[in-house]
Amino acid sequence: MGIPLGLEHACEHVNALSDEADVVIIGGGIIGVCTAYYLAKQGLKPLLLEKGRVAAEQSARNWGWIRKTARDYAELPIVIEAQQLWEELAEECDTDIGVKRAGVTFLPESEKQLADYEAWQRDFGAVAGTEMLSAVQVRAMFPDAINPWRGAMHTSDDMVAEPFVAVPAIACAAVKLGAVIREGCAVRGLERAGGAVSGVVTEAGAVKTSRVLVAAGAWSSLFLRREGLSIPQLSVRSNVMHTKPMPNFFDGAAGEDNMAFRRRADGGYTMASLGFNELWIGPDAFRALPYYRQLLLGGSFPIKPRFGAPKGWPDSWTTKRNWKLDEESPFERLRVLDPEPNHAALDRMLGKFAERFPSVGKPVEARRWAGMIDAMPDVVPIVDTAPIEGLTICTGMCGHGFGIGPAFGRIMADMIAGREIDHDLSRFALARFDTYAKLELGPDV
């Protein structure tokens, strides 16, 4: 199975730019694509604009987990809906997107972590269908492992899918319903009339619209800052690889500190260095530091600081924070955020895997990659209308966007269309960052 990571694959969506659109969506990741799909299902004609390629960044670089396990209480009802929507989308797409209820298992690294899992399961296990497994049950699940685990947290009906296949397939389904998608077309900024959105200016010209969604992942903060909106969103690097086909030692998804794995549809495994977060220190990191004090002081946001972000990255010291609408924007200078993976971290993960599963041994690699996860200081996203009339924001998914994406896409479609919202979104309000007040942190599991 080929893995298109960025500009190495040709544009699939090359539609001419229309003069006007019912809604303009900025960003061709899972949130933007699903919003376009559900808007089109309502009979609207959204225009999705992507500076590079659909799903070229984090939405296709993730692990492919669709989990209720260990989710924030406010996200739980939304991800439960998302799992139902994933199964519906699998039927609607012309391509097999690999949706499967394979189960997700959290394996504890310590007694404290096991206790944290037990606490989450007591509070939310009945809603999520999550159970605690005994040491005997874990040994039965991984009979060939050198097993230090005294228990595990397991949700048998959690799901997996193939990110590189799924998001482009949903984009094609949205187009069949009437959505318009254009790749290789960056949005430089908003046009306004009387303080409200009246259109967007792209590198290919202007488009009139009264409704805009910013769902640009790691780039959202940079775009919004030019429009006078500051959000404390940062990006951390996640390192991932996939193996060549290998014996099926485990058919679901599981992880412990520094190691995660998922059985792929092609017979290999997607593997990742779980819990190893790298943050490049730039102007936004300094600006957002007060919001992150709880995570940093509490030790629940372990990061490896890096300095000197590569040229063109959203929080690079040399990236422009302001530009005119008739000037080339940072989004045109770097079409796809394609970080080099941390090879040492992946090597350590492979070594740990080989030690844990000696009968399986060290997997044979097919490819390595990395992605930048858009993170928030309380580990939940912003999903809200903005103080600019006609502007909505859905960003900062904290590594959860792929799994929950269809439901947030459906919610954003309803929000943009002025329909009643059937979930409580107060936890995701933009206004929680109006001051430096203490935040309610997501689960520390």
pLDDT tens for residues 178-190?
999 999 999 999 9
The structure tokens listed for 399 are 């590594």
The confidence score (pLDDT) of residue 53 equals 95
Percent of residues, the chain, with pLDDT higher than 90: 89
pLDDT average, residue stretch 115-137: 97
pLDDT of residue 4: 66
At 11 the pLDDT is 73
Q: Is residue 86's pLDDT more than 90?
A: yes
Instruction: Find the mean pLDDT for residues 98-114.
Output: 96
CA terminus-to-terminus distance, the chain: 33
Average pLDDT, the chain: 94
- pLDDT value at residue 16: 86
What is the chain's Cα-based Rg? 21
The β-bridge partners of 393 are 214, 384
The mean pLDDT value for 398-413 works out to 97
Per-residue pLDDT, averaged over 151-156, amounts to 98
pLDDT at 1 over 60: no
Per-residue pLDDT reduced to its tens digit, 34-83: 999 999 999 999 999 999 999 999 999 999 999 999 999 999 999 999 99
Buried b (16+ CB within 10 A) or exposed e, 47-78: bbbbbbbbbbbbbbbbbbbbbbbbbbbbbebb
| Residue 391: burial class (beta carbons within 10 Å; 0-12, 13-18, 19+) | buried
- Give the pLDDT band (50/70/90) at residue 300: low
What's the length of the chain? 445
- Of the listed ranges 68-82, 270-284, 343-357, the least confidently predicted one is 270-284
Pairwise CA distance, residues 72 & 432, whole Å:
16
Ramachandran assignment for 200, one of left (phi > 0), alpha (psi -120 to 50 degrees), beta (any other): beta
Determine the pLDDT at residue 3: 64
Look up tokens 């005997």; give the residue: 136
What proportion of the chain, given as a percentage, has pLDDT over 70?
A: 98
Kindly indicate the confidence band of residue 22, based on its pLDDT and cuts at 50, 70 and 90: very high
For range 161-179, the mean pLDDT: 96
Q: Residue 319 has what pLDDT?
A: 96
b/e burial code for range 93-126 (CB count within 10 A of at least 16 → b): beeebbbbbbbbbbbbeeeebbebbbebbeebbe
Contact in structure between 406 and 34 (CB atoms under 8 Å): yes
Q: Is the pLDDT of residue 387 over 50?
A: yes
Beta strands in 379-427 (DSSP E): 382-385, 391-395
What confidence score (pLDDT) does residue 258 get?
87
Residue 9 pLDDT greater than 80, yes or no: no
Domains of the chain in sequence order: 23-103+157-433 (3.50.50.60)
Q: Residue 278 has what pLDDT?
A: 92
pLDDT band at 416 (very low <50, low <70, confident <90, very high): very high
Query: String of b and e for 281-307 (b: at least 16 CB within 10 Å)?
Result: bbebbeebeebbebbeeeeebebeeee
Indicate the residue type of 36: A
